[in-house]
Amino acid sequence: MKNFLFVLCIAGYVVSSCSTQPKQTGMNPFLNEYDTPYSVPPFDKIKNTDYIPAFEAGIRQQLDEIDAIVKLKKKPDFENVIVALDRSGGILRRVSSVFFGINSANTTDSLQAIDKEITPKMTGHSDDIYLNMPLFAKVKDVYEQLETSGLNDEQKKLAEETYKRFMRSGASLSAEDQAKLRVLNEEISMLQLTFGQNLLAETNGFRLHVTDQAQLKGLPQTQVEAAATAARKASEEGWLFTLHNPSVMPFLQFADERLLRKEIFEAYLNRGNNNNDRDNKAVVAKLAAKRLEKANLMGYVCYADYVLENRMAKTPQNVYALLDRIWKPAIHKAKEEAADMQSLINKQLPGSGLEAWDWRYYNEKALKSKFDLDEEMLRPYFRLENVRDGIFYVCNQLYGITFNELTNLPKYHDEAVTFECKDADGTLLGILYMDFFPRPGKRGGAWCGSYRTQTVDTQGKRVAPITTIVCNFTRPSGDAPALLSPDETETFFHEFGHALHNLFKNVTYYGTSGVPRDFVELPSQIMEHWAFEPEVLKVYAKHYQTGEALPAALVEKMEKSGKYGQGFATTEYLAASYLDMDYHILTDASHLDVPAFEKESMDKIGLIRQIPPRYRSTYFNHTMGGGYTAGYYSYIWAEVLDADAFEAFREKGNIFDKATATSFRKNILEPGGIYDAMEMYRNFRSSEPGIDALLRNRGLTE
């Protein structure tokens, strides 16, 4: 792992500091403490021309702070070395959190140009810190005295993690190898940046333009109206469909026109694989080679060995063991589902075989046939604002916290909404931004990030976090409000779990805030369990027109159908997890043919042709863009934890059991990275988790 300041801000988790900074003059808002309510970023005053000067000023400031640590004549100790380093870089924290947050949520050509300019500078700055030998000598001196230091658990963990970061960043390498590492780090960071920018351009570059209304048969009216709105905004006649999920996925799910389903599906599947100036095949091949070269330089056989050393999984073998155990029942279930769909095709299109662009369409037909249920029966009951209030209700029932909308805060986009979160005793927990709908400048998917992380300042006062949830949900259409699909509803609960982790965190230092990548999804995924509990649905799932609660008959159908389709969902996810791992266990990445490698990887596990991996190589931003490199397995690893953890509530006979919720908050959500991840889980559950609850939840038991 590189510098927590830089790498985590790329992933969306680095946050700005509220620590005391020297007052500086000038119009650049990043160079002064924010004079705003709750000290949120002054988005309304930030100009694109502010970023580069602020990054440069921040780099200078942090280098001066580090120089002061190195030159200090006092004996190195925890406070004058470890804490001083942890608190350094205040300006960089401020500008990084805002720039990388906005560049993901609302980018422009100008911001992408800044990203290209600043990425190598930030990578070089990280190396300047972690390859600073006089600084490392002081860090090592403190680390070697830990046993007799009298430090508490958090202080020891900060010192240990600081030392490990230096070691994993090449501090023990020779000067010659450190020079090689600097070059590799810059090359890798720029390749990751290029991959992401290519993907965004490819996603925005495709439009399916329909002018014949007959070709819209099967699509729900809300989707037709949304496509008509998109066409009007583009000054086009007819209807426009894009590769953003709220457009492409319903089209694949409902459109009767099979040839158009094929067209948009193949466009979705071939993003970054079109032999144009946005093609990502060469980027992927170079990334795999450069990452392997870095791992070898650091003394590891493969890049996965290097990455997993600091994760719960520890080794590639442990990851594959988990994936293999779930793969067999998942592919078996997927083949059963394929047979169901083929029987429907035989009736509709005799002689035609099930294809990948048919899967979502006929899965919807199978749900209707087997359970008399389809997504459009449910959407009217999942108005976005009602889902939000349902999440607030769950949080209040579990933890006693409350949310109050604020309208006086600066925002980075007009569509963002802001809330104040208060603890049960009325004290401020933090500020929450939420941004729900897709737009050309927003990257795909959903994520939770931070504009300021929770810490304790130099006066011993808790610094409240500023966290953000960014999604790509279905927009309001016509006279209807934003109506979410069940999948979007579950995603909202998921991202809110990340937000709760940020809001509840109770640590002193920046360096003890983070948790291993394969633990970070536990707080998010456990929240999904409450989304469709009947006790919760009756509170928030109400028809947007009549206010009628979701009928008991539909709730029952949801419960009965909940495990149908898990063969497909689990298989496509696991396939991507295998693909990620296969790239990063390579011991020879020279002459890598990306399409051939991907095919070999999928053939090896027996993936059926009608199911592509959830992310193919050229648009697999989780791993190629960084963040989940050799780590996409983390979702299923964390699901072992979250399925077992939710059992703790069920065992009490109450999904809102206060004692269990309090224990989860205390042992999982508050400690950050102070303790070992499995130790935190055992403190909550009194045992390590098993896989049985996960298999039951997904309907994959024999």
Q: What pLDDT, in 10s, does the model give residues 581-607?
A: 999 999 999 999 999 999 999 999 999
Residue 8 has pLDDT above 60, yes or no: no
Arithmetic mean of pLDDT over the chain: 94
Give the pLDDT mean for 126-142: 98
Integer Rg of the chain from CA:
25
Residue pair 380/543 in contact (Cβ under 8 Å)? The answer is: yes
Q: Quick one: pLDDT at residue 26?
A: 56
24, pLDDT greater than 70: no
* C-alpha to C-alpha distance for 306 and 313, rounded to whole angstroms: 12
Q: Token pair for residue 401? A: 């916290």
Confidence of residue 19 (pLDDT cuts 50, 70, 90): very low
- Judged against a pLDDT cut of 80, whether residue 467 lies above it is answered with yes
Q: What is the average pLDDT across 143-153?
A: 95
Domains detected in the chain:
4-169 (1.10.1370.40), 206-269 (no CATH), 384-517+533-540 (3.40.390.10)
pLDDT digits (tens, 9 = 90+) for 632-656: 999 999 999 999 999 999 999 999 9
Question: What's the token pair of residue 700?
Answer: 């994959």
- List residues with catalytic annotation: 495
Residue from 537, 558, 557 nearest 549 by CA: 537
Percent with pLDDT over 90 in the chain: 94
Which pLDDT belongs to residue 5? 33
Q: Report helix, strand or coil for 306.
A: helix
Strands of the sheet containing 428-435, edge to edge, are 402-406, 417-422, 428-435, 466-470, 447-452
Characterize the bridge pairing of strands 428-435 and 402-406: unpaired
Query: Per DSSP, what are the bridge partners of residue 420?
Result: 404, 431
Rounded CA gap, 186 and 598, in Å?
A: 26
Residue 484: pLDDT above 50? yes
Q: What are phi and psi of 464, to 5 degrees?
A: -70, 140
State residue 74's pLDDT score.
Answer: 96
pLDDT of 702 reads 59
- Which among 37, 624, 633, 699 has a CA at the least distance from the CA of 337? 699
pTM of this structure:
0.93
Given this model, what pLDDT does residue 477 score? 86
Task: Find the range with the poorest average confidence among 11-20, 445-454, 500-509.
Answer: 11-20
Please tell me the predicted confidence (pLDDT) of residue 57: 97
Residue 584: both structure tokens together: 């990063």
Q: Which residue has the tokens 């399925």?
A: 643
Q: What is the mean pLDDT of residues 443-465?
A: 96
Question: Measuring CA to CA, which residue among 646, 614, 644, 445 is closest to residue 531?
Answer: 646
Above 80 in pLDDT, residue 196?
yes
Residue 468 DSSP SS3: strand
Task: Name the band, by pLDDT with cuts 50, 70 and 90, for residue 7.
Answer: very low
Confidence band (pLDDT; 50, 70, 90) for 25?
Answer: very low
Average pLDDT over every residue of 50-72: 98
Q: What is the pLDDT of residue 699?
A: 93
